[in-house]
Amino acid sequence: MSLMYDLYQPGRSPLHRADPRVKLLGVVCASAALLTIQNLWLILLALAGVHGLLLGAGVRRERILWIWRVTLPTVLLIAILWALLNPTPEEPWLAWWLIRLSAYNLAQGLAIGLRIAALAFVVFCWLFTTEQSDLVLGLVSLGLPYTWGLVLAMALRYLPTLGSAFRTISEAQQARALDLTRGGPVRRAKAYIPITVAMLIASLRTTQHVSYALESRALGALPHRTYLRQLHFRPRDWAYTIGILLATGVFFWARLALGLGTHPLAL
Amino acid sequence: MTEAPIITVRGLRYRYPPTLPGREAEPVLRGVDLDVARGEFVALMGPTGVGKTTLCLALNGIVPQSTGGVIGGSVTVLGHDTRHTPVPQLARDVGIVYQDPESQLFSATVEAEVAFGPENLALPRAEIAERVAWALNVVGMAASRGRSPAQLSGGQKQRVAIAAALAMLPQILILDEPTAALDPLGRLEVFRVIEQLRNDQDMTIVMVSQDPEHVAIFADRLALLAEGRIVAEGPPAELFYALDQIAAVGVAAPQLAELSVALERCHGLQRRFMLLDEAEATLRTQWEPEP
Amino acid sequence: MTAQPAIAVRDLIYRYDPELPALEGVDLEIENNAYLGVIGQNGSGKTTLVKHFNGLLKPTEGRVQVFGMDTRQASVGQMAHSVGYVFQNPDHQIFCATTREEIAFGPRNLGMNDAEVQERVEDALDAFELGPYADVPPAVLGYGLRRKVSIAAVYAMRPQILILDEPTAGLDRRSADELMRRVDAMHAEGHTIVLVSHDMQLVATHCREIVVMDEGRILAQGPPEAVFQEHEALARASLAPPPVTALAQRLGDLGMPGDVLTIEAFCRALGRLREARP
């Protein structure tokens, strides 16, 4: 049932087989790089690159479309607001009231919006190709307490459950003649109260049951625990690490010394 | 001389902490006495909201250690007082399977789910691997070890939950309405596993169930819980025919047990039955014309 | 001339949502004041089918009409005037601070005035014996009571058609019987009842007509006496008749009829059998 939402996509691609710590390093470096640029072309290049990685790892097209569906509203909202409300250093095409529209701030808005999508894609690249126990193990081996890793894994695990509970609850309330489509924004927001409250109560119940289940399976019986799975940092993981660090170094040199990626359109 | 019971419950009283401030909760358990012998299969039946789940949780210490509230009397499991022995400690001896599959399968793969308990016991890797393989085999889910629990059917999910409990090698297995959320096929799957545990693993089992047909087949002893007490206990093959007593508690008897009692009333049948084969054989010998 | 059916389903195909079992061509007519049981394993499409009855799902192909109105023309909220749907898990609908408010929610959404709402609430509290819990938050009640509240809340809307998804799951015999007495009474008052259930004894005892679903299709349909004799269809859907019916069928060679559904019917049939014998 949660097929659509199950994040991990089993596979044997190089991305799947890379050590989760290397992938985490990649996520951190790529995110840091993305956050420093606002050039539309570079962002598009980065997006193309992540799509290449995902497709190369055998992630299904529907999953990629799903990420777009989730991020697109935010991307568009940011792009439009930014383009409309940010002053432009160039001669605007259109000037009306507070609004100054130009190629410059339009490109900048798009770049900043798409940056959100690119960041999401980078993170999903990691989540789609890393089994959750490896993910936890990776974080633990980097010194994070086990419970933190467990909480992250559980959050990922129960997100789809909450999603389908939300759907069922909103169906159940609509079947009681709750109308979610009529009226102004305030009335519509109010219409969501029955769903939100039922959702909250149901989640509390689930949380309680999950915590009983964890305890009855001896969580916290001993100060240390062992792991069935083991991470292997292979030679190729070292190669990836060096590659990622080098690429990041070169990028930041170009960014700082040459001003790469600061202008929304020019390179 | 028989062995001392593996579970001893004496005068157990319990009241949950108030759900609303200033509103004292009603006591759930009002003096439960129950002994369970090693290797015995005890079924627990009773109306909804009568404290069956609470009693289960008291057997592995979650009541009162995690729930708070006021407890009286005593629960002793394998010599441990469950009021004070930490829950994760008790988990080595007492495995528990809950009703809702969704909230007890929290891992991304079947393998990780079953390994979770043994990992918490800090066992060596090789032993964890061995236990995982064994437990998945017992419940017939070995082929699915790499799959996500979310992709399994209800029956398969509950089998994984049973495997996850078994991997701790508990001496006692508590099952709290394990089939209530399942369809008939899933129910059958889970009961086959339970039958196997009972026959081959010599496990001590306490199972809460609303399903008299299956209790009739599996349980050595049936205990009826009502108004916070055990009001009757005995072999299902005796207790299920005491229809007045069963009805007074508000639970169901197997339909064929009801039929055999009704047949006595309207046709003077002297024999009792509650399983299909038994019923067929009885009625044939009773009324089949002599050849 | 025949009366208009309560629900008419024509060539219904549903394949839109990959998370739901598909429907592969369903034809079904539910008469006004029918008492229909829908049985089948999880994933057979029973819930997908009944969710079309109040417009929660719209057909991919084919059409569903409720009292002659195409469900595609109406929102779920509008459909709720004539079709009530009680979900399987009461926690998916309970959200109010008191049971009274919980029950008032539906009638109020239907646009009733305070006096009417008040009357409906009192009536529902009465019918389901929830009076003592009227001012308690329903979320803190036990499972059996939450179940009752969720049904009372839909009952108060007085829908002409009432759909119940596994209404007795998790209930003990006494609460289940009480609940079903209430549902039977609604049927007697003229409501159309659609019951989705795994409990063969329940549908055998209460329903007048049964639909067996498997892999998105209807495998068998008819009165329970007939459907529980369709061994091939039942086997394909992995279902078995209730124990008394199965026993009677096993004794078929002695002259026992195969359409026995209840203990009383079994006793009567056996009586006739013994009388006929020298």
Structural domain span for residue B214: 1-39+46-87+207-251
Residue B202 resides in a domain: no
Question: pLDDT tens string for chain C (278 positions)?
Answer: 457 899 999 999 999 877 788 999 999 999 999 999 999 999 899 999 999 999 999 999 999 999 999 999 999 989 999 999 999 999 999 999 999 999 999 999 999 999 999 999 999 999 999 999 999 999 988 888 999 999 999 999 999 999 999 999 888 899 999 999 999 999 999 999 999 999 999 999 999 999 999 999 999 999 999 999 999 999 999 999 999 999 999 999 999 999 999 999 999 999 998 888 76
**CB–CB of B256 and C172 under 8 A?**
no
Q: Is residue B27 located within the same domain as residue B83?
A: yes
Residue B282 resides in a domain: yes
Span A157-163, average pLDDT: 86
The whole-number pLDDT of residue B291 equals: 47
For chain A, give every domain's residue range: 19-130, 145-220
pLDDT in tens, A50-83: 999 999 999 988 889 989 998 999 999 998 888 8
By the 10 Å C-beta count (0-12 exposed, 13-18 middle, 19+ buried), B265 is classed as exposed
Element (H, E) at A128: helix A103-129
For chain C, give every domain's residue range: 242-278
**CB–CB of B60 and A154 under 8 A?**
no
Least confident of A126-135, B16-25, B29-38, C170-179: B16-25
Domains: count for chain B: 2
**CB–CB of B213 and C198 under 8 A?**
no
The whole-number pLDDT of residue A83 equals: 82
Span A171-180, average pLDDT: 91
Whether the Cβ atoms of residue B272 and residue B235 lie closer than 8 Å to each other? no
B244 touches chain C (CB under 8 A): no
CATH number of domain containing B234 = 3.40.50.300
Any chains having at least 3 CB pairs less than 8 A from chain C are: A, B
**What distance in Å separates residue C22's CA from the closest CA in chain B?**
16
* Helix/strand/coil for C212: strand
Q: How far apart are CA C174 and CA C171, in angstroms?
A: 8
**CB–CB of C172 and B250 under 8 A?**
yes
User: What are the percentages of helix, strand and coil residues in chain B, rounded to 5?
Assistant: 45, 20, 35
The whole-number pLDDT of residue A3 equals: 40
**CB–CB of B259 and C247 under 8 A?**
yes
A1 has pLDDT over 50: no
Interface of chain A against chain C, CB under 8 Å?
1-4, 164-165, 168-169, 171-179, 181, 193-195, 197-198, 201-202, 205
Q: Which positions in chain A touch B111 (Cβ < 8 Å)?
A: 228
Q: Is residue B246 located within the same domain as residue B211?
A: yes
Residue B23 resides in a domain: yes
The pLDDT confidence band at residue B181, using thresholds 50, 70 and 90, is confident
Q: Is residue B52 located within the same domain as residue B66?
A: yes
Look up residue B208 and give its amino acid. V
Cα angle at B86 between B85 and B87, to 5 degrees? Answer: 115
Span A162-172, average pLDDT: 91
Least confident of A165-169, A182-186, B81-85, B217-221: A182-186
Tokens of A18: 């890379």
Residue B113 resides in a domain: no
Interface of chain A against chain B, CB under 8 Å?
1-3, 5-6, 8, 10, 131-133, 153-154, 156-158, 160-161, 206, 209-222, 224-230
* Helix/strand/coil for A31: helix
Residue B247 resides in a domain: yes
**What distance in Å separates residue C214's CA from the closest CA in chain B?**
13
The whole-number pLDDT of residue B1 equals: 44
Whether the Cβ atoms of residue C37 and residue C210 lie closer than 8 Å to each other? yes
Whether the Cβ atoms of residue B54 and residue B28 lie closer than 8 Å to each other? yes
Report the b/e string of B189-220 with b at 16+ CB within 10 A: bbbebbeebbeeeebbbbbbbbbbbbbbebbe
Residue B190 resides in a domain: no
Q: How far apart are CA C80 and CA A135, in angstroms?
A: 46
The whole-number pLDDT of residue C180 equals: 95
Put simply, the chain B residues between 35 and 64 with a CB less than 8 A from any chain A CB are: 57, 60, 62
B19 has pLDDT over 90: no
The whole-number pLDDT of residue C67 equals: 96
Q: Is residue B247 located within the same domain as residue B290?
A: no
**CB–CB of B255 and C201 under 8 A?**
yes
Element (H, E) at A96: strand A94-96
Q: Is residue B13 located within the same domain as residue B51?
A: yes
Q: Is residue B80 located within the same domain as residue B31?
A: yes
The whole-number pLDDT of residue A2 equals: 38
B289 has pLDDT over 90: no
Q: Is the ipTM of this complex over 0.85?
A: yes
Residue B145 resides in a domain: no
The pLDDT confidence band at residue B2, using thresholds 50, 70 and 90, is low
- Shortest CA distance from A210: residue in chain B: B103
Nearest to B159 by CA among B210, B214, B112, B97: B97
Residue B243 resides in a domain: yes
The pTM (predicted TM-score) of the whole model is 0.91
Find the Cα–Cα–Cα–Cα dihedral B52, B56, B58, B59, rounded to 10°: 140
